[in-house]
Amino acid sequence: MTAPTVAGSDVDEGEGEDGAVLLSVENLRTTFYTDKETIRAVDGVSFDLRAGETIGIVGESGSGKSVTARSVMGLVESPGRVESESSIEYRGRELTTNTEKEWQQIRGGDIAMVFQDPMTSLNPVYTVGNQIKEALRLHQNLKGQAATEEAVELLQAVGIPDATRRLKEYPHQFSGGMRQRAVIAMALACDPSVLICDEPTTALDVTIQAQILELLEELKEERGLAIMFITHDMGVIAEVADRVNVMYAGEFVESAPVEGLFENPKHPYTQGLLRSIPGNNVGSERLETIEGEVPTPNEEATYCRFAPRCPEEFAECDHVHPESVPVGDEDVHHTAKCLLYPEDLPKAGRIGKHEQRSGDEGGDRS
Ligand code: SF4
């Protein structure tokens, strides 16, 4: 099919080439203020997302992954807010100062989102075809026969057979996997450059999950989409991501290209997550788990938030905040927030480096 043209956007199409930075997030801080506490759900996260690239954000429930996604979509609601020192740039344009009207133009146009439950996006009382055509009308000004033809092409592009007939069906007549494909078709109807996927395969069985991951890979290749993929599942991350950010209690604690992360995980949390993948501990009688839960980040990070669960913890972990430091080959940009690094420094030198970086509010971006 022909790729739809960008609607509602004044950006230079040339910037969509593979490798161009589309989304640049710097020091993102999203805080929820309640009567009882201040929750730093996202606490100083930075990353770039390039055209034709998938970045993964992985971590347990409560780590801040979904709040990161909602912040990038302008969907944080009271009592939450994106703090003023945060920056989210889309093609060089700052989004954090957007009005709601400007956000609406970005959402579903330049940046689209696919949620875990397809019924969050589908209206049960309208046919799938009507919903895709409505998106085409809003974002590409397509109507009538042209919209129907484009909707058929979109359903075919996401692998739904007998697309002309299925356009006339309602969401409840689709299986779970087909519904998620229909939601992806709706997202593509807006011709986004960036697709944010928040646990899109978690509710699906493994066969269907594999098909959806394959579909996303194809769409990334064919359309040069930039994909931000959120999951708690390291196995899924291995399949889908080019770069991985491991998130814990509001912070990215390790960032690396996917091969580097899986071959040489550095942060004790990442190492624990990898040990807890079924099949990664052949010969062991029990599946390893990380004891305890992700803490609510309700105080300033003046220490390592992973310390209570960390098998490597030592005294300084309780009062020095680990900053992001290079932990591997500089060329591949592998960083971790842990006082065990840089490995080549003696302990006092390492601690001093983290204290100094903390003072500078420095650190590497993903
Ligand atoms: S800083 Fe200390 S507690 Fe935190 S991950 Fe590293 S070793 Fe573990």
Question: pLDDT per residue over 319-346, tens digit each?
Answer: 999 999 999 876 678 999 999 999 999 9
Rounded Cα distance between 151 and 189, Å, is 8
Rounded Cα distance between 276 and 274, Å, is 5
Tell whether ligand 1 has an atom less than 6 A from the beta carbon of residue 338. yes
On whether residue 142 sits in a domain, the answer given is: yes
Q: Which two tokens stand for residue 190?
A: 């807006």
On whether residue 35 sits in a domain, the answer given is: no
Rounded Cα distance between 161 and 178, Å, is 10
On whether residue 135 sits in a domain, the answer given is: yes
Q: Which atom of ligand 1 is nearest to the CA of 316?
A: 2
On whether residue 160 sits in a domain, the answer given is: yes
Rounded Cα distance between 231 and 59, Å, is 7
pLDDT at 10: 37
Q: Please classify residue 151 by burial: count the beta carbons closer than 10 Å to its beta carbon, then call 0-12 exposed, 13-18 middle and 19+ buried.
A: buried
Tell whether ligand 1 has an atom less than 6 A from the beta carbon of residue 322. yes
| Centroid of ligand 1 to alpha carbon of 30 (angstroms) | 24
Rounded Cα distance between 66 and 230, Å, is 7
The angle subtended at Cα 25 by Cα 331 and Cα 18, nearest 5°, is 60
Q: Which two tokens stand for residue 332?
A: 């591949």
Q: Tokens 């390592």, residue?
A: 304
Q: How many domains does the chain have?
A: 1
On whether residue 161 sits in a domain, the answer given is: yes
pLDDT at 190: 86
What are φ and ψ of residue 311, in 5° steps? -70, -15
Question: Chain-centre distance of CA 37, in angstroms?
Answer: 26
Q: Which atom of ligand 1 is nearest to the CA of 317?
A: 2
| Centroid of ligand 1 to alpha carbon of 340 (angstroms) | 7
Tell whether ligand 1 has an atom less than 6 A from the beta carbon of residue 13. no
Rounded Cα distance between 223 and 166, Å, is 24
Tell whether ligand 1 has an atom less than 6 A from the beta carbon of residue 44. no
Tell whether ligand 1 has an atom less than 6 A from the beta carbon of residue 327. no
Q: Which two tokens stand for residue 208?
A: 């269907």
On whether residue 182 sits in a domain, the answer given is: yes
On whether residue 165 sits in a domain, the answer given is: yes
Q: Which atom of ligand 1 is nearest to the CA of 268?
A: 5
On whether residue 183 sits in a domain, the answer given is: yes
Question: Chain-centre distance of CA 121, in angstroms?
Answer: 18
Amino acid (one-letter) located at 146: A
Tell whether ligand 1 has an atom less than 6 A from the beta carbon of residue 190. no
Rg (CA), the chain: 21
Tell whether ligand 1 has an atom less than 6 A from the beta carbon of residue 304. yes
Strand, coil or helix: 256: strand
pTM: 0.89
| Segment holding 262, helix H or strand E | helix 258-263
Rounded Cα distance between 86 and 40, Å, is 13
Write out the chain's pLDDT in tens, 366 residues: 333 333 333 334 444 466 899 999 999 999 999 999 999 999 999 999 999 999 999 999 999 999 999 999 999 999 999 999 999 999 999 999 999 999 988 987 899 999 888 888 899 999 999 999 999 998 888 999 999 999 999 999 898 999 999 999 999 999 988 999 999 999 998 889 999 999 888 878 888 888 889 989 998 998 899 999 999 999 999 999 999 999 999 999 999 999 999 999 999 999 999 988 876 665 666 667 888 889 999 989 999 999 999 999 999 999 999 999 999 876 678 999 999 999 999 999 999 999 988 877 544 566
Range of the domain at 172: 120-191
